[in-house]
Structure 1
Amino acid sequence: MRTRAAAAALLALPLIGCARIADPQPPLVRIPAAASDLAARQAGMEVVLEITLPERNTDGSAASTARADVFRITETAPHPHPLPGREFLRLAARVLSVPRERFELHADGGKLVLRHPVPAGPAGYPPLRYAVAFVNAGGRAAGLSNQVRIQPVPVPEAPPGVSAETTESAVLVRWAPPPLNMDGTGPPRIAGYQIYRSEDPERFPEAPLGAVPEGLTTFADREFEFDRTYHYVVRALAPAGGAAALGAPSGAAAVATRDTFPPLPPENPSALDEGEDVVLLWTPSPSPDVAGYRVLRRADGGEFAPVTGELVRVPAYRDIGAGGRGYEYAVRAVDARANESPAARAARSAPRVPSAGDIW
């Protein structure tokens, strides 16, 4: 609803005259301070406005904000520079009013994030100019925020075929280019893609996890953790002057990141007879998540079996009493999730050669 009359009255503060000593004073009016960091961007067929909520009133007391009013001018002639406040309000319509009780639904990282549909005109998408006022319970505001101007453009529809796959070092997200714009025109102009991640499929952050340029349709998320379920959404970017406008969000692709990847095996195992014992040495596995090593041995013609039920935490093991028996050894790396590597190259201890004393 267009409320130009209310907009014009918004900044009309009461006149307070001089009073004699001891006369009653007018009540103190606490008005939220105006903001100066309003920003606008296009996401799909919506304009997304971000602004910081005031923490203080104009007198320094805690902010007594009752609502946030969004005003918009749909420009029929270009106005490259900000308009004076009263001129802006004369031309603007209040297109959105958010009461304080609903601020939490629009909050993101200390900002108030407000969305409003992009209007379509007979000749396409007209330029839009916005400002926001924070209003107290009495309908008073300290002034408008800074003004922002945005030129909406046709934006790509949702990228199809989004999928996510867990690898040992990254979650690979893949998609296909969208064939049309959201308004049915095409082919779409694509400047790149932004990728979003959330553990809540119903709520994604405003800031993307990452981006790739036009021509790429794969993204590697290397900041993931195992044993979580992630949801990924992809949006194409359309060039919009010096900025970029977001296309429609894809459907969310879910992936449960389970670590089923064995570590790399240790290297260079050797078995050395040392008296009655065999000392095993090897080069550690280069994998970063190794929890320990499983040492196995077998006699000629037998099956490999663990020497001990516990993992060996260091790259060495003494097999007590095994010297001279000619055992063959193998070593596996084991990670924290019990994934085991292939066995390292087997090593054999030297069998004991009978001496003359053994014969006689």
Structure 2
Amino acid sequence: MGLGRLAGWLVLPFSLVACELVACGVKGPPRPPPPRQPEPASSLEVRQEGDALVVSFRPPRKMLGGSALEPPVRFQILATIGEKGAAAGAAATTGAAAVPAGSGRGAEGAAHGVAGTPAAAGAAGTAPVQPGAVSLPPPDQARVAAEVMRLARRVKTVPMEEGAERAEVRLTRDDFPGTRLESSHVTIGVAVIDGRGHRAPPPEVQAIEPVPSPPAPTSFNAAVTAEGVRLTWQPPDLGSYRRTSETLNLALYRWKSGEAAPSRPYRLLPADSREFLDREASAGSSLDYALRLLVGPSPPRRESTTAGPVEVAVKDTFPPAAPKGLVAVSEAELIRLFWFPSEEPDFAGYRIYRGEGDSTDFRPLTDHLLTQSSFEDHDVVKDRKYSYRVTAVDRAVPPNESEPSETVSAVAGAAMEPSSP
């Protein structure tokens, strides 16, 4: 064998190894291409508002491989419709427990659920998702959601709104033709489809059993008071709802103006209440309030239409109370003032005003606020009469100043006797 041929046989294996190492750019076996599928919708919530079902979720931000979404992105709302009470009925007929999604229980021994009619549930050997089911722990999540959505039909398709933190889709009775929602067990999921048709199926589902449209509160108003924001309304006409076995409450919502409305109530109030004082509203803030009648436990929330929202600019325009008990005591070279301390929660300090003789021209003695309820006036002339008033100032922006206290007088250098107003 010639030297040239031998060298060729020796170089060939090294060339193959080098080629394999360089081909992928990294060591090891070649990696599969990134999945061409959008991120799924997440944090799914379904609630009832009046006659409508509102589907709320967090939209995707990118493809599963990390690349940008292919516009236009749209959402498919998928639903299965069964009879109300199917979660319990199907479990009884199939021997499977209807396990709320998110309970953490696996598929062994109890089915997480499948949507559809009770007959379909029986055929699948599983029970429908209980109302209030939101999500499942991995790895059951995608499997069960796929099983639930296997019988689903597309209810609505909507485009994605750019930049929204959460998406909301409102489903009306027109989206469920031939269906009496208040007699139904509805299970909903959200699929994501990008501009090239790549599809992310629902990773989670939520079920709800709607009720007849609850009556709503009316005449909802808000007013800023010295104690806080006072909300008033007319309670809903409960009518037949008083005969229901479900609990009834008013759900009060509060959020910063300009932000998205929260998904959970700020306070739950008695259904027949008529007012609420929000003492936690911070001065300088702008708040929105809304009120709905809530039927039964939640989630999922089954509520009336909304009373409000009303927007309130919380401005402190209420001055503190005037100081009380002001006394002036004349000493050898000064006049000493005492008064009762202010009990205002937003107290900032006091201003001392002085007039000479019987003048009604009172001027401040200091260029700063005093925080103690006493003061020594050393800038006095013996045998001259001085009159004093005190005001209280709060921490509002701009600050509010109280009415002046009662006026007291003293003669500098006179006998040490307390003055009277």
Secondary structure of the residue that 2:53 maps to in structure 1?
strand
Q: d(CA) in 2 for partners of 1:155 and 1:122?
A: 12
Partner of 2:269: 212
CA contact (8 A) 2:252 2:267 kept: yes
Matches within 5 A, 1:169-188: 169-179=227-237
Which of these residues, 38, 42, 56, is aligned with residue 44 of structure 2? 38
Which of these residues, 113, 137, 156, is aligned with residue 82 of structure 1? 113
Partner of 1:93: 153
State which drifts further: 124-133 or 343-352: 343-352
Which of these residues, 222, 232, 243, is aligned with residue 279 of structure 2? 222
Q: d(CA) in 2 for partners of 1:143 and 1:242?
A: 23
Partner of 1:114: 169
Which of these residues, 353, 367, 390, is aligned with residue 331 of structure 1? 390
**1:51 counterpart letter in structure 2:** F
Matches within 5 A, 1:279-298: 279-298=336-355
**2:77 counterpart letter in structure 1:** V
| 1:260 counterpart = 2:317 | yes
Which of these residues, 320, 334, 341, is aligned with residue 402 of structure 2? 341
State which drifts further: 47-56 or 154-163: 47-56
Task: Report how far residue 158 of structure 1 moved.
Answer: 2.6
CA contact (8 A) 1:155 1:237 kept: no
Rate the CA distance shift 1:192–1:206 in 2: closer, same or farther, 3 A: same
Which of these residues, 190, 196, 204, is aligned with residue 138 of structure 1? 196
Q: d(CA) in 2 for partners of 1:123 and 1:314?
A: 64
Task: Report how far residue 274 of structure 1 moved.
Answer: 4.4
Partner of 1:166: 224
Rate the CA distance shift 1:61–1:218 in 2: closer, same or farther, 3 A: same
Which of these residues, 157, 164, 167, is aligned with residue 215 of structure 2? 157
Task: Report how far residue 228 of structure 1 moved.
Answer: 5.5
**1:40 counterpart letter in structure 2:** V
Q: d(CA) in 1 for partners of 2:321 and 2:276?
A: 25
**What is the TM-score of this pair, normalised by structure 1?**
0.72
CA contact (8 A) 2:181 2:210 kept: no
Rate the CA distance shift 1:136–1:252 in 2: closer, same or farther, 3 A: closer
**2:290 counterpart letter in structure 1:** V
CA contact (8 A) 1:153 1:240 kept: no
Structure 2, unmatched stretches of 5+, are 1-19, 24-30, 88-97, 99-111, 115-143, 416-421
Rate the CA distance shift 1:252–1:353 in 2: closer, same or farther, 3 A: closer
CA contact (8 A) 2:235 2:271 kept: no
Task: Report how far residue 99 of structure 1 moved.
Answer: 2.6
Secondary structure of the residue that 2:292 maps to in structure 1?
strand
| 1:250 counterpart = 2:307 | yes
Task: Report how far residue 90 of structure 1 moved.
Answer: 4.8
Matches within 5 A, 1:48-67: 48-55=54-61, 57-59=63-65, 61=67, 66-67=73-74
Rate the CA distance shift 1:273–1:41 in 2: closer, same or farther, 3 A: same
Listed one character per residue, the Cα deviations across residues 115-140 of structure 1 (whole Å, up to 9, x for unaligned) are 22254745843111111222233323
Q: d(CA) in 2 for partners of 1:113 and 1:123?
A: 19
Task: Report how far residue 219 of structure 1 moved.
Answer: 1.7
Rate the CA distance shift 1:278–1:324 in 2: closer, same or farther, 3 A: farther
Task: Report how far residue 36 of structure 1 moved.
Answer: 5.9
Task: Report how far residue 153 of structure 1 moved.
Answer: 0.7
Rate the CA distance shift 1:163–1:222 in 2: closer, same or farther, 3 A: same
Task: Report how far residue 330 of structure 1 moved.
Answer: 2.3
Secondary structure of the residue that 1:162 maps to in structure 2?
strand
The number of equivalent residue pairs is: 324
Q: d(CA) in 1 for partners of 2:32 and 2:353?
A: 90
**1:130 counterpart letter in structure 2:** I
Task: Report how far residue 282 of structure 1 moved.
Answer: 4.0
Task: Report how far residue 321 of structure 1 moved.
Answer: 1.9
Structure 1, unmatched stretches of 5+, are 1-20, 355-360
Q: d(CA) in 2 for partners of 1:271 and 1:246?
A: 63
Task: Report how far residue 40 of structure 1 moved.
Answer: 1.8
Q: Flag the structure with higher helix content.
A: 2
Q: d(CA) in 2 for partners of 1:333 and 1:296?
A: 11
Q: d(CA) in 2 for partners of 1:33 and 1:252?
A: 33
Identity of aligned residues (%): 29
**1:219 counterpart letter in structure 2:** F
**2:152 counterpart letter in structure 1:** A
